């Protein structure tokens, strides 16, 4: 399959080129030339398949033209070495728990898949060209991306990862998950906000001298190998709910159901993957994009005008994005039609005080512990879910990753899982970096 740029001013690329390059030469984001609809039979029997089995069928639709069948199966099965369970929170509202992977965040799925797919292509390239140069992965993080990517690529031969993160704006636990690893992982502590980190990464891809000096790619959700596999767990959520017998499915059309999915949204890669799933036939009747105080997309839904702005620091820090990259993919997916986007997606936005209230109210009424990001999704469903629908919100990270905040709000003492505790015992290793591209470039040129 070929991939084109959302800016439509760059040559079409193969999957290998799109994955290795990350960003198109015209600064656009790569999109597959077609989205294959899955057959009716797949949805009729999806509840009989394991997470790995159903994800492999989805992966074949995305990547089957470009990756050998046995290799694709290995990549999918190795990526999904953990489950993404659906848990009932209250009547008609369920949490899709995406924190059961190695770094306890949803980004484990995309990061692990990308690491394995990139290694597959690197080995293919080396066999063909004899070029054994390192591939350098640049990734900006507002919280969980850095840990997921760093751990997904840790120890992978032929790849070095540079994680750029905003100084003082990620939690101590999050920071420990990518600054303590060493080996082929370098953490760069940028004096700025997430958008500054993201701008440094994008500018690096556009710099001719830097790209001649070293092989660069990205592992942010701008990379097709990072965001597309996130569709897997939307299909898995549907399969579980169907297995539970709680969905209303139209017997005459199994591609219709009463399912509403609410996605806490920052850079919008996660909800974009869900929208791709829906375009493949996944029976979701409606999506809700839940924002924190960074309400650029919410305002777009109200007005039809998109005005990116500097990000605001909030309690739900992984969603602190003022210029969401994947907005370009949503526009492209819907042919730049505001009306079409509004038909499929509604929005919500919550300040920190409302997030705190939601976390406390949910805990007191149900006993379920929300993290600040999941709280936005839960609250949006509480406000917008019709009585005849089933709502699923994505619980994107384990609440223990925000232990100090969660304990303070709930008056609790959340246990820290062993995997998190191990990271926290490690020694921080990071490089201080000013928010200046020339200095960032000079650092990379010296490597």
> How many H helices and E strands in the chain?
20, 13
Tell which residue, 181, 121, 123, 114, has the closest CA to residue 154.
181
Task: Answer whether 187's CB lies under 8 Å from 151's CB.
Answer: no
Q: Which residue has the tokens 């062993």?
A: 418
Give the sign of the dihedral formed by CA 20, CA 235, CA 336, CA 143: negative
Q: Checking DSSP bridges between strand 86-90 and strand 30-32, what pairing results, if any?
A: unpaired
CA torsion sign, 31 to 33 to 37 to 42? negative
Instruction: Indicate the helix (H) or strand (E) that contains 118.
Output: helix 107-129
| Site of tokens 């920052």 | 266
Which residues contact residue 134 at a Cβ distance below 8 angstroms, ignoring those fewer than 6 apart? 158, 159, 160, 214, 215
Tell me if residue 401 is catalytic: no
What is the dihedral angle through the alpha carbons of 65, 32, 202, 402, rounded to the nearest 10 degrees? -90
259 DSSP β-pair partners: 390
**DSSP H or E run through 395:** strand 390-395
Residue tagged active-site, from 107, 169, 403, 405: 107
CB-count burial class (<10 Å; 0-12, 13-18, 19+) for 17: middle
- Phi, psi (deg, nearest 5) at residue 352: -55, -40
Asked if 145 and 46 count as a contact pair (C-beta separation under 8 A), the reply is no
Q: Measuring CA to CA, how many Å separate 159 from each of 65, 134, 185, 368?
A: 25, 6, 9, 39
Helices of type H across 296-432: 296-303, 327-333, 338-344, 352-366, 372-384, 403-410, 418-424
Query: Catalytic residue positions?
Result: 107
């Amino acid at each position: 399959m070929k991939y084109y740029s959302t800016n439509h001013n760059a040559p079409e690329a193969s999957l290998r080129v799109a994955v290795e390059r990350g960003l198109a030469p015209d600064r656009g984001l790569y999109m597959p030339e077609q989205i294959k609809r899955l057959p009716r039979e797949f949805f009729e029997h999806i509840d009989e398949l394991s997470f790995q089995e159903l994800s492999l069928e989805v992966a074949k639709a995305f990547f089957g033209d470009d990756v050998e069948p046995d290799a694709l199966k290995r990549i999918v099965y190795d990526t999904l070495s953990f489950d993404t369970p659906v848990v009932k929170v209250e009547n008609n509202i369920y949490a899709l728990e995406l924190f059961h992977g190695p770094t306890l965040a949803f980004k484990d799925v995309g990061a692990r898949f990308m690491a394995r797919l990139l290694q597959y292509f690197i080995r293919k390239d080396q066999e063909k060209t004899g070029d054994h140069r390192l591939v350098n992965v640049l990734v900006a993080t507002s919280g969980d991306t850095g840990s997921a990517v760093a751990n997904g690529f840790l120890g992978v031969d032929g790849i070095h990862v540079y994680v750029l993160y905003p100084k003082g704006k990620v939690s101590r636990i999050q920071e420990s998950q990518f600054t303590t690893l060493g080996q082929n992982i370098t953490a760069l502590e940028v004096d700025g906000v997430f958008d500054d980190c993201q701008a440094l990464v994008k500018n690096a891809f556009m710099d001719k001298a830097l790209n001649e000096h070293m092989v660069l790619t990205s592992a942010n959700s701008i990379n097709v190998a990072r965001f597309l596999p996130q569709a897997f767990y939307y299909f898995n959520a549907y399969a579980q709910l169907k297995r539970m017998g709680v969905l209303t499915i139209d017997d005459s059309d199994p591609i219709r159901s009463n399912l509403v999915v609410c996605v806490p949204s920052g850079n919008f890669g996660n909800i974009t993957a869900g929208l791709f799933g829906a375009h493949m036939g996944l029976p979701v009747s409606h999506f809700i994009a839940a924002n924190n105080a960074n309400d650029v997309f919410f305002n777009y839904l109200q007005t039809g005008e998109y005005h990116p702005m500097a990000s605001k620091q909030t309690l739900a820090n992984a969603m602190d994005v003022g210029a969401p990259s994947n907005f370009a993919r949503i526009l492209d997916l819907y042919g730049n039609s505001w009306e079409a986007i509004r038909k499929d997606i509604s929005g919500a936005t919550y300040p920190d005080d409302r997030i705190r209230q939601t976390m406390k109210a949910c805990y007191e009424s149900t006993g379920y512990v929300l993290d600040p990001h999941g709280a936005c999704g839960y609250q949006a469903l509480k406000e917008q879910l019709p009585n005849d629908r089933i709502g699923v919100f994505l619980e994107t990270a384990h609440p223990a990753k925000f232990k100090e905040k969660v304990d303070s709000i709930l008056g609790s003492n959340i246990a820290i899982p062993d995997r998190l505790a191990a990271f926290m015992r490690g020694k921080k290793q990071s490089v201080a970096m000013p928010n200046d591209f020339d200095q960032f470039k000079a650092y990379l040129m010296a490597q």
